[in-house]
Amino acid sequence: MGRVVHKYGGSSVADADGIKRVAQRIVATKKAGNDVVVVISAMGDTTDELMDLAQQVSPLPPPRELDMLLTSGERISAALLAMAIANLGYEARSFTGSQAGVITTSAHGNARIIDITPGRIEESLGEGHIAIVAGFQGVAQDTKDITTMGRGASDTTAVALAAALEADYCEIYTDVDGIFTADPRIVPAAKQIPKISYEEMLEMAACGAKVLHLRCVEYARRYNVPVHVRSSFSQKEGTWVVDAKELDQTMEQAIISGVVQDTKEAKITVVGVPDKPGEAARIFETVAGADTNIDMIVQNVSAVATNRTDISFTLPRADGARAMSALARMKDEVGYEQLLYDDRIGKVSVVGVGMRSHPGVSAKFFSALADAGVNIEMISTSEIRISVVVDENLVNAAVTAAHTAFDLDDEHTQAVVYGGTGR
């Protein structure tokens, strides 16, 4: 007998028919002789609707109460799914995150998992039940309040439970047939990737790929949990995210595994920063103090005449106003000249472990963008990734050009997004 964790996204359980379809898939897995644990997201756009409702009531809802509200969507899905499974003759038990033993930090809206104590889940499985866990939520270790872990964190809940329960693997069900070489909504000729390493998937998730939550992949790599990404709308084999050692070593690694875009970033430029030790540190300490993560950083060469320099960096667009406010308050302290803000940018990245052994990847990437008329504003690299910042309106053209340049197009098939969201 095996042990499997399933996770179903909001598009998979968007309505009653979707919940019934998911219930049939879960029961089929149970009939095959497996212990089954299910992590469920809120139905369709429920979380967005609850957030809109909260903001109609209060422009700044208290974080604790907002978490209490937002977690109700997953609890509704879990209870309805348990009912649908009961109609098929199997017994299911639904659990909140706290009942499932998901222990987190107390940061409302962005809590992190500290520990999983799945005693009640183990007990339920021992009694032959199917366990259903409300995703993206837990309980704070110190305050005992209900917490949420950020959008998309049901993936992380699923992988964390799979690790704690020593499951054979974790299946992430979404509305696409797996992980593709590009977003199928932008590049219909994108190829499905049969297997991909944790390392590559981490880079793709960090660069904007929405199919898997970044912290989910980090957790899977840390505890070596195989993750199978597949569609709940078809029976097709999906994409396995595994340790690099498990990839087919008899085949030469493709240079580029995928092209990823992120259109939810902004760029801040601090103009005329005195070029002396410690000024850059003060700027980034200020940004960090505003609880903002920075992505790409570029500092210009200091002008000889003024001994001043410009520092540009990118950050999540949602954090832009907070970072700008924090930097404005320390203008006199640092002595910079002005702040510039641009939220009409996008990031395009090519990712692949094959670039380690293939020279000329940057040249091919930049040439493809030039031929497509796309100007590069910033560049950042890692051992297996090259990222560029471009005008937001040119992101799709850049993705398409790079995808074609690295021979990733598949003219014989067309990727399908069943639910229309890619999650």
Convert the pLDDT of each residue in 261-291 to its tens digit.
999 999 999 999 998 899 999 999 999 998 8
pLDDT for 337: 93
Q: H or E element: which one contains 190?
A: none
Q: Which of 152, 172, 164 is nearest to 48 (CA)?
A: 152
Give phi and psi for 387, each to the nearest 5. -120, 145
Q: What is the pLDDT of residue 250?
A: 47
Q: What is d(CA 102, CA 66) in angstroms, rounded to the nearest whole number?
A: 19
DSSP class of residue 349? E
Is 344 in contact with 386 (CB distance < 8 Å)? no
| Reported confidence tier of residue 166, pLDDT bands at 50, 70, 90 | very high
CA 217/CA 2 separation, integer angstroms: 22
* 253, pLDDT greater than 70: no
Q: What domains sit in the chain, N to C, each tagged with a CATH number?
A: 3-247 (3.40.1160.10)
Question: Is 50 exceeded by the pLDDT of residue 146?
Answer: yes
Among 122-131, 352-361, 409-418, name the one with the lowest average pLDDT: 409-418
Determine how many CB atoms are found less than 10 A away from the CB of residue 108: 21
**Token output for 336:** 């910079």
Tell me what the mean pLDDT of segment 326-334 comes to: 92
- CA 196 remoteness from chain centre: 16
355 band by pLDDT with thresholds 50, 70 and 90: confident
> Which residues are CB-neighbours of 285 under 8 A, at least 6 positions away?
none
265 and 296 Cβ atoms separated by less than 8 Å:
no
Q: Over 50: is that where the pLDDT of 374 sits?
A: yes
pLDDT tens for each residue of 67-95: 999 999 999 999 999 999 999 999 999 99
Q: Are 283 and 301 in contact (CB under 8 A)?
A: no
Using 50, 70 and 90 to split pLDDT, how confident is the model at 129? very high
Please state the rounded mean pLDDT for residues 92-107: 96
Average pLDDT over residues 164-176: 93
**Are 125 and 87 contacting, i.e. CB atoms less than 8 angstroms apart?**
no
Give the pLDDT confidence score for residue 423 in this predicted structure: 45
Burial of 17 per CB tally in 10 Å (0-12, 13-18, 19+): exposed
Question: 208: which strand partners?
Answer: none
Helix axes 214-223, 198-206, angle to 10 degrees: 160
pLDDT of residue 420: 52
pLDDT average, residue stretch 370-394? 95
**At residue 418, does pLDDT exceed 70?**
no
Calculate the CA dihedral of residues 173, 179, 184, 188 and round it to 10 degrees: -120
What would the pLDDT profile of 5-54 be if each residue is shown by its tens digit? 999 999 899 999 999 999 999 999 999 999 999 999 999 999 999 999 99
Q: Which residues contact 21 (CB under 8 A, 6 or more apart)?
A: 12, 232, 233
Place of tokens 């903001």: 55
